[in-house]
């Protein structure tokens, strides 16, 4: 089989992205237009503004991805686009554009689940590094601003099938990072800035309790039902706990002081935010990150044991977190479990992961038809 160049298009949330990937294993170009500046004043993604920004960015972003790759509309072999899950209006921009382009060019179009994209970000880079040999079953944690999801993946025919073995009951972990950063006036998005500040505080200063995964003795006569073996995450409680801590420890004045100090700086850097933080804030931030990371790692590694996973993949925006990588690496090594992450660039939303996830379906000629539409609540199976 000769090389296949797939143009990926991603617009499910607040990043307009396009990329060209060769045969699911080499990133030829990868362009991401971030909308951070648009949503920053609101401390979170505003869906209507996101759709409008996607409309503005989609054509130049796709052109740039083709140009960077030394490709043209005519030379690519297929297009791949995110079908869901995500924001309805945002998804619609990428999907309508990809459909129209595929139709005009008479090229095949492949529909991709965004969550499968995050998983393939890891596989793409492993293949790029010469690692073609992953052991199954694979447990994949997708942890981002919109998702905290555990999938057990197995190989089936040319592609993979996924079993949902756990997800958050309320907020995603990235959402908690963003909301706590907003509450403490640290800026948006919260994850990268908390990641930067946390090493300056004491992670043991504040104790945040989490519900523990139930772990009964396993015996062959009494196998648990699929429901009993599920892992539940929950991250809305910790946000309320941080708010309560702020109120009971009289931190409101220092938060207001920080807001005023940063308001006068056009684009505050991480160092500016750090300079506006007192010890109490740094300790709170460090403890918050420590609690979330240890909850994610504890539950994921217990699930890996429960499902006898042979490989662990961790992907999505929060997988860029330095403490998370350290803790997962240490605890997976203790369990003798190989763990893989994407590079930081491919951890957050991008279109290279969409083009890579589409490749097995391209080989199987599993193309989308003219009825293809978005699905904001699309599940991965
Ligand atoms: O995957 P992504 O770009 O978009 C979604 O699909 O949601 O993830 C964005 C999320 C945001 O909540 C952001 O705060 C978080 O990922 N994030 C991080 C880090 N970098 C991004 N969270 C913790 N530490 C980081 N270094
Ligand atoms: Zn994502």
Q: Identify the burial level of 29 via C-beta atoms within 10 angstroms of its C-beta, where 0-12 means exposed, 13-18 middle and 19 or more buried.
A: buried
Say if strands 15-22 and 5-10 run parallel, antiparallel, or are unpaired. antiparallel
Summarize pLDDT for 343-367 with one digit per residue, the tens: 999 999 999 999 999 999 999 999 9
Nearest bound ligand to the CA of residue 181: 1
Q: How many angstroms is it from 234 CA to the middle of ligand 1?
A: 17
Looking up tokens 């420890």 gives 249
Q: Report the alpha-carbon distance of residue 312 to residue 338 in Å, rounded.
A: 6
Max Cα-Cα span within the chain? 66
Ligand 1 atom closest to the CA of 146, numbered from 1: 7
CA of 316 to the centre of ligand 1 (A): 7
Binding-site residues, ligand 1, Cβ < 6 A = 13, 144-146, 174, 177-178, 189-192, 195, 316-318, 320-321, 348-349
Give nearest CA residue, ligand 1 atom 21.
317
Please give the distance, rounded to the nearest whole angstrom, from the Cα atom of residue 126 to the centre of ligand 2. Answer: 19
Cβ burial of 234 (10 Å; 0-12, 13-18, 19+) is middle
Domain boundaries defined on the chain: 5-130+347-364, 138-337
* Chain centroid offset of residue 359 CA: 20
Pocket test for ligand 1, best of 317, 320, 325, 341 (most atoms within 8 A of CB): 317
Say which residue, 1 or 146, is predicted with more confidence: 146
- A 10 A CB-CB count for 131 gives 12
Computed over every residue of the chain, the mean pLDDT equals: 94
Domain over 138-337 is classified CATH 3.30.420.40: yes
Measured between alpha carbons, how far is 365 from 381 in angstroms, rounded to an integer?
19
pLDDT the model gives residue 222? 47
Gap from CA of 251 to ligand 2 centroid (Å): 33
Q: Which ligand lies nearest the alpha carbon of 296? A: 1
- The alpha carbon of 215 and the centre of ligand 2 are apart by a number of angstroms equal to 30
Q: Which atom of ligand 1 is nearest to the CA of 320?
A: 26
Cα–Cα distance, 18 to 351 (Å, whole number): 5
For residue range 223-244, list pLDDT tens digits in order.
556 666 788 999 999 999 999 9
Instruction: Tell whether the model's pLDDT for residue 221 goes beyond 60.
Output: no
The pLDDT assigned to 339 comes to 97
pTM, 2 dp: 0.93
Domains 5-130+347-364 and 138-337 share a fold: yes
pLDDT digits (tens, 9 = 90+) for 76-134: 999 999 999 999 999 999 999 999 999 999 999 999 999 999 999 999 999 999 988 88
Whether omega for the bond prior to residue 85 falls within 30 degrees of 0, making it cis, is yes
pLDDT of residue 211: 65
Query: In this structure, which ligand is nearest to the CA of 174?
Result: 1
In this predicted model, what pLDDT tens digit does every residue of 29-50 receive, in sequence order? 999 999 998 998 888 899 999 9
Q: Residues 218, 219, 223, 229: what is their CA dihedral angle, to the nearest 10 degrees?
A: 0
Give the residue whose CA is nearest to atom 23 of ligand 1: 191
Q: Does domain 5-130+347-364 have CATH number 3.30.420.40?
A: yes
Q: How far from 355 is each of 14, 121, 362, CA to CA, in Å?
A: 18, 10, 10
- 340: pLDDT confidence band, cut at 50, 70 and 90? very high
Answer positive or negative: Cα dihedral of 181, 182, 188, 189.
Answer: positive
User: What value does the mean pLDDT take over residues 239-250?
Assistant: 96
Q: Which two tokens stand for residue 30?
A: 């990868």
Q: Are 81 and 53 in contact (CB under 8 A)?
A: no
Q: Mean per-residue pLDDT for 285-302?
A: 98
Quick one: pLDDT at residue 40? 86
Residue with CA nearest ligand 1 atom 18:
191
- If you average pLDDT over residues 11-23, what whole number do you get? 97
Closest CA to 99 of 120, 78, 76, 68: 78
* Cα 359 to Cα 7, 22, 152, 204, 270, distances in angstroms: 11, 9, 20, 45, 38
State the pLDDT at residue 212: 59
How far, in Å, from the CA of 148 to the mean position of ligand 2? 10
Pocket test for ligand 1, best of 30, 147, 191, 321 (most atoms within 8 A of CB): 191
Instruction: Give the pLDDT of residue 224.
Output: 55
Query: Which pair of structure tokens corresponds to residue 372?
Result: 């293809």
Burial of 143 (0-12, 13-18, 19+ CB in 10 A): buried
The number of residues in the chain equals 381
Contact assessment for residue 142 and residue 151, using Cβ atoms and an 8 Å cutoff: yes
Report how many helices (DSSP H) and strands (DSSP E) the chain contains, helices first: 13, 11
The mean per-residue pLDDT over the stretch 62-73 comes to: 98
Q: Which of 262, 376, 360, 357 has its CA nearest to residue 19?
A: 357
Task: Give me the half-sphere count of Cα atoms (radius 13 Å) on the Cβ side of residue 358.
Answer: 32
The atom of ligand 1 lying closest to the CA of 177 is 14
Q: What is the pLDDT of residue 225?
A: 60
Q: Sorting pLDDT into bands at 50, 70 and 90, what band is 325?
A: very high
């Amino acid at each position: 089989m000769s090389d296949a160049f797939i143009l990926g298009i991603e617009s499910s949330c607040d990043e307009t992205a396009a990329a060209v990937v060769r045969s699911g294993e080499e990133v030829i170009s990868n362009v991401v237009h971030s909308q951070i500046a648009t949503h920053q004043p609101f401390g979170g993604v505003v869906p209507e503004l996101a759709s409008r920004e996607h409309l503005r960015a989609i054509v130049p972003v796709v052109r740039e991805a083709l140009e960077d790759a030394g490709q043209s509309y005519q030379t690519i072999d297929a297009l791949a686009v995110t079908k869901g899950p995500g924001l309805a209006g945002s998804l619609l921009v990428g999907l309508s554009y990809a459909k129209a382009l595929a139709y005009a060019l008479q090229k095949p179009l492949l529909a991709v689940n965004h969550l499968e994209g995050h998983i393939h970000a890891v596989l793409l880079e492993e293949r790029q590094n010469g690692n073609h040999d992953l052991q199954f079953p694979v447990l994949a944690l997708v942890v981002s601003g919109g998702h905290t999801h555990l999938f057990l993946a197995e190989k089936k025919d040319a592609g993979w099938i996924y079993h949902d073995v756990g997800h958050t009951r309320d907020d995603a972990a990235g959402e908690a990072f963003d909301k706590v950063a907003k509450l403490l006036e640290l800026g948006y998005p919260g994850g990268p800035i908390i990641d930067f500040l946390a090493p300056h505080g004491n992670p043991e200063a504040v104790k945040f309790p989490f519900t523990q995964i139930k772990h009964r003795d396993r015996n062959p006569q009494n196998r648990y039902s699929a429901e009993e073996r599920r892992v539940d995450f929950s991250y809305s409680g910790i946000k309320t706990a941080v708010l309560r801590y702020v109120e009971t420890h009289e931190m409101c004045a220092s938060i207001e002081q920080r807001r005023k100090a940063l308001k006068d700086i056009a684009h505050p850097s991480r160092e500016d935010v750090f300079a506006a933080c007192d010890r109490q804030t740094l300790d709170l931030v460090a403890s918050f990150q420590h609690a979330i990371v240890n909850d994610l790692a504890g539950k994921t590694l217990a699930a890996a044991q429960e499902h006898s996973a042979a490989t662990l993949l961790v992907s999505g925006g929060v997988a860029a977190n330095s403490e998370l990588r350290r803790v997962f690496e240490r605890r997976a090594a203790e369990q003798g479990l190989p763990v893989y992450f994407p590079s930081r660039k491919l951890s957050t939303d991008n279109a290279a992961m969409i083009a890579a996830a589409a490749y097995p379906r391209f080989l199987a000629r599993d193309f989308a038809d003219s009825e293809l539409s978005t699905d904001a609540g699309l599940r991965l199976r």
